[in-house]
Structure 1
Amino acid sequence: MSRPAISVKRVSADEERSFTELWLSSRVEAGISAEVAARAASEGRVATALRREDVRAYIATTEGRPVGFAVAATSPFSSLTDNPCVTIDQLYVVPEARKHGVARQLMTAVTLYADSRGCDQIGCNVPAQHREANRFFARLGFSSQVVRRVTSVAALRRRLGQDESGHSSLEALLHRRRSLRARDRASAGSRLAG
């Protein structure tokens, strides 16, 4: 039995609804609640991203049914270099279409996009816990270049020992001690004068 033909094209206004439905499925599969994902889509996050000049989105279909998408963006590899790089922000294939060549076809479209932009490198963002995705990219020659770690501002502030104003606990303690000493000196001076 032969595989159904896979068609990949850039997301246009005609495919935006199908793309959004796939994007919602990918968010829910990633553990985001359906309500939160739907709210993000209804607030225009997807439509805004698709209209950005530096973003390119592709949708894959088999037998007229949307089965996957890729979203890539062009930017320098790092803020200290001028070399442009295409970064794959998201690559998603519906579960029943996986291992049928859909992701490879989407990657072919991203590669052609990188060539058209004059990029020598393609990067990707892959969650560390997604073994299959990491294996897929490794088989295509992607190597681990950096480890991107993320935390919330509040958690980092706690770890750094800062209060809400951004001052460290030590700075706050020293400030309080100086204030108490100044008050003590002022009150001792007024007692001696009286």
Structure 2
Amino acid sequence: MSRPVISVRRVSEDDERAFTELWMTSRVEAGVSPEVAARAASEGRIATALHRDDVRAYVASADGQPVGFAVAATSPFSSLTDAPCVTIDQLYVVPDSRKHGVARQLMSAVTLYADSRGCEQIGCNVPAQHRDANRFFARLGFSSQIVRRVTSVAALRRRLGQDEPRHHSIEALLHRRRSLRARATATAASDSRLAG
């Protein structure tokens, strides 16, 4: 059985529909419901992202059929440096086309993009639980440099003790007001004694 002919090109307006379908497939495979993925696509998020100057998307085809995509963005490596870095935000290949060189072809396109932007580093966002993806990037020389941890604002607020029930925060406010009044009264009494 011969290997399919793989081609990679930057996503153009003609490719947006195929790209969107692949993106929705990747989201569903990641556990998002088809309805949520379709809603995100219909809200124009993809089109908006594809037209940003700092975002580059590529679609891979095997024998003329779209089988994968890569989305990369250029930004400083950190907020405290000016050195630009290309970050691979998403890399996806449909299951039937994996292990046929599609992802490597997409990575070649991203590498050329990084060179054209003057970037010396390429980073990637890989979910910790995706062992195959982590192995793929490790084989290409990507090392684990940071661990990005994520939580919701509400969960962090609870952990920090800032998510007190409303009645507790009202009690705290009343307590502060009483304390300020008591201090003001004590200061006024002291001032009147000094004046007299």
TM-score range, shorter chain: 0.7 to 0.9
Distance 2:30 2:122 in 1: 23
Residues 183, 117 of structure 1: alpha-carbon distance in 2 compared, 3 angstrom cutoff: closer
Render the CA deviation track for 1:30-74: whole Å, top value 9, x for unaligned: 000000010000000000000000000000001110000000000
How many angstroms does 1:164 deviate by?
7.2
How many angstroms does 1:105 deviate by?
0.2
How many angstroms does 1:177 deviate by?
3.7
> Do structure 1's residue 60 and structure 2's residue 63 form an aligned pair?
no
How many angstroms does 1:175 deviate by?
4.2
Distance 1:12 1:59 in 2: 9
Counterpart for residue 21 of structure 2: 21
How many angstroms does 1:80 deviate by?
0.3
Distance 2:133 2:126 in 1: 7
Residues 106, 183 of structure 1: alpha-carbon distance in 2 compared, 3 angstrom cutoff: same
**Paired residue total:** 182
Match of 2:136, SS state, is: helix
How many angstroms does 1:176 deviate by?
4.3
What is the TM-score of this pair, normalised by structure 1?
0.87
How many angstroms does 1:173 deviate by?
6.3
How many angstroms does 1:148 deviate by?
0.4
Match of 1:15, SS state, is: helix
Distance 2:176 2:57 in 1: 58
**Where do 1:134-173 residues align within 5 Å?**
134-163=134-163
Residues 102, 182 of structure 1: alpha-carbon distance in 2 compared, 3 angstrom cutoff: closer
Distance 1:48 1:17 in 2: 14
Distance 1:4 1:57 in 2: 22
Residues 178, 48 of structure 1: alpha-carbon distance in 2 compared, 3 angstrom cutoff: closer
Counterpart for residue 104 of structure 2: 104
Residues 182, 124 of structure 1: alpha-carbon distance in 2 compared, 3 angstrom cutoff: closer
List alignment gaps of at least 5 residues for structure 1.
186-194
> Do structure 1's residue 34 and structure 2's residue 24 form an aligned pair?
no
List alignment gaps of at least 5 residues for structure 2.
184-196
Matched to 2:138, the amino acid is A
> RMSD across aligned C-alpha pairs, in angstroms?
2.4
Q: Which runs of 4+ in 1 moved over 6 A?
A: 181-185
Distance 1:27 1:180 in 2: 54
How many angstroms does 1:163 deviate by?
3.3
